[in-house]
């Protein structure tokens, strides 16, 4: 059995909501549709939280190099 | 059937308007004419929103490494 | 016997709590589940400390290029 | 017929004026003489707009990784 | 005899204390256990100096790309 | 005849003075002795303009990734 | 005879003092012991000038990607 890889924690979240924190301070949550090894992310039904508040943005492609961390939503305390 | 890739969310938006958020805080929306795997983007009929307001810039090439995220416009709440 | 590599200090911490300091000033501690040579990290039972305080985030994938340093928790003074 | 590439929007501007926005906030406009895939740009008859105002700088080589976006001048609103 | 390489100055400090200055302004000193060509560093018995003061952090893995410079401690003036 | 490359604008300036603007806001002018494809530059008879004023620095090696743009001096307006 | 390379200006300074300006604003001068193509530098008898003043740091390894420019000391005006 191969070693676990860090990205496996997101692979198992496909079709579920994840939370993403970006380097510019923005936060995006949405349903994980696709990801790659650079951590480029495609989220659907996404919501953006920035300095202006919360906004629905639907589908979004997040560039991997702008990601700080990403978490499956289910275990995050409110 | 191969796995979906993150960039597929933009591929299906060719010929339609997308919204792009840049690392310097600028925002550009325009019709997606071409994109590559670095997320270099060619938009037509583009509008730039920066600290000076909104300006029409026509065709524009956005360097991929300056992109934070990009969304098809249709689902973005106003 | 091969030379020790820097990453060995974390390899021996799998299944134990580590502390991670990020470039944006955030701090995350959690149980190390997986890591790779880029220092991408999968932590479980993680806690995030940011400008808003402490928050439980459960599983988290930290992008390696945002890591400043990481320490096994056992020897860190409180 | 191959797909359009993002850089094609500038290729067709050789010999014409383009506007370039840089990551440090500087703006340069000039006649596009040459470009490469890194977006390194050689402009002639260039003008620099920085915090000191507008200055003629003649020929200039702009390092690609400092470019945010570039537009053919003809469609940019004044 | 091959040319000296910059990293040789640290190779000869294995098992001795070194001082490391990081890009975020943090300073870490500790015993050098391992290093690689990216300047990833494993220090033991490490002390962190940040905006909160001095803290013992035991073993630590420092990501190479966050290092500004590193010095063997013996010659550093107090 | 091959296409012109962006770096050609500097190649023809060897032995002549060029002006270089750096990402940290410093400005250096000097005689171009050598350059490479990363835009690493060797200038002789160089002058540095920084927040402290103007200083003669003689020969200098400028790291390419710190360059914003570079211009042959002859056409720059004073 | 091959073309001169930018790094040649430092190669001829081995065993002599050079001045190095870093991206974080620090300045280090010392005797150049070794350098590589990334501009990683080993200086001996080095002095660091930072926001706290001047400090002797003896041997030091400077990570190349933090260098803005480097000059042989002999021609620098005081």
pLDDT, one tens digit per residue, over A36-74 is: 999 999 999 999 999 999 999 999 999 999 999 999 987
pLDDT, one tens digit per residue, over B7-56 is: 999 988 999 999 999 999 999 999 999 999 999 999 999 999 999 999 99
Are B and C touching by the rule of 3+ CB pairs within 8 Å?
A: no
Kindly indicate the confidence band of residue E75, based on its pLDDT and cuts at 50, 70 and 90.
Answer: low
E14: CB partners within 8 A, 6+ apart: E32, E33, E34, E35
Instruction: Output the pLDDT for position E38.
Output: 93
CA distance B48 to F5: 29
CA distance A68 to B22: 16
Which residue on chain A is closest to B13 by alpha carbon? A59
pLDDT, one tens digit per residue, over C30-74 is: 999 999 999 999 999 999 999 999 999 999 999 999 999 999 988
pLDDT tops 90 at residue F57? yes
Helix, strand, or coil (residue F64):
helix
Instruction: Output the pLDDT for position C73.
Output: 87
Comparing CA positions, the residue from B18, A62, B48, E68 lying closest to residue D76 is B48
Contact between residue A19 and residue C47 where contact means Cβ atoms under 8 Å apart: no
- R_g of chain D computed on alpha carbons: 12
Tell me whether residues A75 and C57 touch, CB distance under 8 A: yes
Instruction: Output the pLDDT for position G78.
Output: 53
Which chains contact G through at least 3 pairs of Cβ atoms less than 8 Å apart?
E, F
ipTM confidence: 0.92
Residues of A in contact with B2 (CB under 8 A): none
Residues of F in contact with D62 (CB under 8 A): 6, 68-69
Domains of chain F, earliest start first: 8-75 (2.30.30.100)
CA distance F38 to F20: 14
Kindly indicate the confidence band of residue D74, based on its pLDDT and cuts at 50, 70 and 90.
Answer: confident
Average pLDDT of chain E is: 92
0.90 surpassed by pTM? yes
pLDDT, one tens digit per residue, over G19-45 is: 999 999 999 999 999 999 999 999 999
Residue of D26, D28, D40 lying closest to F6 (CB–CB) = D40
Kindly indicate the confidence band of residue B77, based on its pLDDT and cuts at 50, 70 and 90.
Answer: low
Tell me whether residues G61 and E75 touch, CB distance under 8 A: no
Mean pLDDT on G6-27:
95
Q: Which of G34, G41, G59, G67 to mutate to test the interface with E (most CBs of E within 10 A)?
A: G59
Residues of G in contact with F36 (CB under 8 A): 5-6
SS3 assignment for chain F: CCCCCCCHHHHCCCCCEEEEEECCCCEEEEEEEEECCCCCEEEEEEEEEECCEEEEEEEEEECHHHEEEEEEHHHCCC
Tell me whether residues F63 and G74 touch, CB distance under 8 A: no
């Amino acid at each position: 059995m191969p070693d676990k890889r860090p990205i496996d924690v997101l692979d198992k979240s496909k079709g579920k909501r994840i939370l993403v924190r970006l380097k510019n301070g923005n936060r995006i949550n949405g349903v994980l549709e696709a990801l790659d090894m650079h951590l480029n992310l495609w989220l659907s039904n996404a919501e953006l939280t920035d300095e202006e508040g919360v906004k629905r943005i639907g589908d979004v492609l997040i560039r991997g190099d702008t990601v700080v961390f990403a978490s499956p939503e289910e275990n995050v305390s409110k």
